[in-house]
A and B are shown apart, each in its own frame.
Chain A
């Protein structure tokens, strides 16, 4: 019984993977960048 527990734990450890919890997916980065400045007031010339 305990041998199987070890095998399962090792398999999880070796084959384990995780998803992102806070960072965003790389393909979402362009959408999070403003393409240009938002100008609310122009300078006096």
Chain B
């Protein structure tokens, strides 16, 4: 009888990988370590939250056991459509833009950014000796202005964190890396768009004077 109990215990532990609780995925607490300069106080309107168009809303990922079997869901703390938009707004402010939450009081040239969250998913890829928790983030930005601009661009980022065990903290590190990569790509793309149309965000009466625009190489 004790032998049978031990056998069942070994089988359960082996199959589950010792983790059966849901993982709570949360956003990083801060933005990029070094903000990307170039905002020059130009106006940007960021619509918060973004639209949430994920194919699966009930989870943000999956927890796996020791041999790759799914054992629990990973759920997002709060709405990713809200926190990705909020982090982008903060990052644009850090880059020197004047960020508005609505069109009220905005210049006609202000760039309006709306976003669509297409995917957020965190998943451990279990290997022989270690496991990499991978996070995929996919967001589409739509840029517009009252002066007639209309454009869009899709961004995809992956965060990776390798470890021999993969509790909640490893999931959060992985999501943090993906989020920072996504923020960097989005801010650089917005700066690129405003370089192409330098009148955006400025008061037309002031004329167009772009000072110190630049994106750090290799970011």
Residues on A close to B: CB < 8 A? 2, 5-6, 9-10, 12-24, 26, 29, 32-34, 36-45
Contacts and interface: CB of A to CB of B under 8 A. Distances in A.
Contact of A37 (B13, B17, B153): B153
Nearest to A26: B158
B123 A22 contact: yes
A37 B150 CA distance: 10
Given A13-B15, A18-B64, 8 more contacts: A2-B7, A6-B7, A6-B11, A9-B15, A16-B67, A21-B62, A23-B121, A26-B134
A2 B8 CA distance: 10
A20 B134 contact: yes
A17 B154 CA distance: 32
A19 B134 CA distance: 11
B106 interface: no
B197 A43 contact: yes
Given A12-B67, A29-B157, A43 B14 contact: no
28 contacts: A2-B7, A6-B10, A9-B15, A10-B10, A12-B67, A15-B67, A16-B68, A22-B121, A23-B121, A23-B123, A23-B136, A26-B134, A26-B158, A26-B160, A29-B156, A32-B154, A33-B154, A33-B156, A34-B154, A37-B153, A37-B193, A37-B196, A41-B149, A42-B148, A43-B147, A43-B148, A43-B199, A43-B200
Enumerate the 9 nearest inter-chain pairs by beta-carbon distance, A residue then B residue, closest first. A18-B68, A16-B67, A32-B156, A13-B14, A41-B150, A43-B149, A18-B126, A43-B147, A39-B151
Contacts of B122: 23
A9 B154 CA distance: 44
A2 to B, nearest CB: 5
Contact of B155 (A22, A34, A43, A44): A34
